[in-house]
């Protein structure tokens, strides 16, 4: 199972929107996917139509070792796409985890026990660099960074890259940056254009060619409990996420996809 964390410590940059729609696009292309909602706000779970009562097991149980990945994953309305939902318990997990000696490796341990049911796992990270995000960076092969085209985008990024370096040194030497996805791009806005150019000249090939446009359909879909790809599969946002999925698969080493 290929494991990818969708992370950026800034809130509102498109992590959850990317997690939901990329997972849906990958599942629609035939990959067996599991999305792990690691944000206590549970927006990915809600956005995929999961009611509170359906959240029997959660990512909290995974971290605490109370459920296996297989037990915690529930199927969604999308064929090939399962989700490990988040519940409010997760908001206490950062504090509870401090008690454990292996506090940074608990998600990885859960993944290592049972991961043969899926081809790809995406993790929707919370907007912080706390223990939840660290657990996911220890557990994954690579990180996908959604970056909103706004003035301070690059400043936040350097802090994230420092965290990635620290995780590589201490816990996960193979952790790779899969790519940076520019989100909420508005071509009529000269500042976003300028920021996109700056990001590309700074990060080069790390930036995905696919750009996610600002698209109101993407922001409407979660209130219907649907991925945009189901809510309106022809909107520009849905098309962009299908392209991003294609590009992402193209960046995967063939041996990892076969594993
Ligand atoms: P994060 O998970 O990083 O906090 P979200 O994915 O929840 O970010 O996005 C923040 C807000 O912006 C949400 O209301 C979402 O619906 C909206 N949004 C995200 N991406 C887009 C987009 N490309 N176009 C329009 N709205 C978007
Ligand atoms: Mg989110």
Whichever domain contains 69, its CATH number is 3.40.50.300
pTM above threshold 0.90: yes
Whether 6 is in a domain gets the answer: yes
- 115: pLDDT strictly greater than 80: no
- The answer to whether residue 213 is domain-embedded is yes
Kindly tell me if the per-residue pLDDT of 254 is higher than 80. no
User: What is the structure's pLDDT at 38?
Assistant: 98
Predicted confidence (pLDDT) per residue in 34-79, tens digit: 999 999 999 999 999 999 999 999 999 999 999 999 999 999 999 9
Residue among 121, 123, 147, 114 nearest 44 (CA): 123
For the ranges 91-95, 147-151, 198-202, 212-216, the one whose mean pLDDT is highest: 212-216
pLDDT for position 153: 81
Does residue 144 sit within a domain?
A: yes
Look at the chain and report how many structural domains it folds into: 1
pLDDT at position 162 over 90? yes
73-110 burial by CB neighbour count: b if 16+ within 10 A, else e?
bbebebebbbbbbbbebbbebbeebeeeeebbbbbbeb
Question: What does the alpha-carbon distance between residue 226 and residue 216 come to, in Å, rounded to a whole number?
Answer: 14
15 lines ligand 1 (CB under 6 A): yes
Report if residue 219 sits inside a domain: yes
Ligand closest to the CA atom of residue 44: 2
Angle at 123 between CA 121 and CA 124, to 5 degrees: 145
Position 41 in a domain? yes
The residue whose CB lies within 8 Å of the most ligand 1 atoms, and thus the one to mutate among 39, 219, 220, is 219
| pLDDT for 151 | 79
Is the model's pLDDT at 110 over the cut of 80?
yes
Q: Is the CB of 183 under 6 A from ligand 1?
A: yes
- Taking only the tens place, the pLDDT of each residue in 185-216 is 998 888 888 889 999 998 999 999 999 999 99
The answer to whether residue 259 sits within a structural domain is: no
With a cut of 70, say whether residue 167 has pLDDT above it. yes
- What integer pLDDT is reported at residue 259 of this predicted model? 60
Mean pLDDT of the 22-32 span: 97
Q: Does any domain span residue 67? A: yes
The parent domain of residue 47 ranges over: 2-254
Closest ligand (CA of 86): 2
User: Rounded to whole angstroms, how far apart are CA atoms 136 and 94?
Assistant: 13
Question: In the prediction, which pLDDT does 154 show?
Answer: 83
| pLDDT at 226 (0 to 100) | 98
Does residue 11 line the site of ligand 1, with CB under 6 A? yes
Q: Which residue of 5, 9, 14 sits with most ligand 1 atoms within 8 Å of its CB, as the best mutation to test the pocket?
A: 14
Measuring CA to CA, which residue among 63, 61, 73, 80 is closest to residue 36? 73
Instruction: Specify which residues 34 forms β-bridges with.
Output: 82, 121
pLDDT at 107: 97
| 192 touches ligand 1 (CB under 6 Å) | no
pLDDT tier at 114, thresholds 50, 70, 90: confident
- Cα separation, 95 vs 114, whole angstroms: 26
Confidence tier at 258 by pLDDT (50, 70, 90): low
């Amino acid at each position: 199972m290929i494991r990818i964390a969708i992370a950026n410590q800034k809130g509102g940059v498109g992590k959850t929107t990317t997690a939901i729609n990329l997972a849906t696009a990958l599942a629609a292309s035939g990959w067996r996917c599991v999305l792990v909602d690691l944000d206590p706000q549970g927006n990915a779970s809600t956005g995929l139509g999961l009611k509170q009562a359906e959240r029997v097991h959660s990512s909290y149980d995974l971290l605490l070792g109370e459920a296996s990945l297989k037990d915690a994953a529930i199927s969604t309305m999308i064929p090939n796409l399962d989700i490990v939902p988040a519940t409010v318990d997760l908001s206490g997990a950062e504090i509870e985890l401090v008690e454990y000696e292996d506090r940074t490796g608990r998600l990885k341990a859960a993944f290592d026990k049972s991961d043969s049911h899926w081809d790809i796992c995406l993790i929707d990270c919370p907007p912080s660099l706390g223990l939840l995000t660290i657990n996911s960076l220890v557990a994954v092969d690579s990180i996908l960074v959604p970056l909103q085209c706004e003035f301070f985008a690059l400043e936040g990024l350097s802090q994230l890259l420092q965290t990635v370096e620290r995780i590589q040194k201490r816990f996960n030497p193979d952790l790779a940056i899969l790519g940076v996805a520019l989100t909420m791009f508005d071509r009529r806005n000269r500042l976003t254009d300028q920021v996109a150019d700056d990001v590309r000249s700074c990060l080069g090939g790390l930036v995905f060619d696919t750009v996610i446009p600002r698209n109101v359909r993407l922001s409407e879909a979660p209130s219907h409990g649907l991925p945009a790809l189901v809510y309106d599969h022809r909107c520009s946002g849905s098309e962009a996420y299908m392209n991003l999925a294609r590009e992402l698969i193209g960046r995967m080493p063939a041996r990892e996809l076969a594993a």
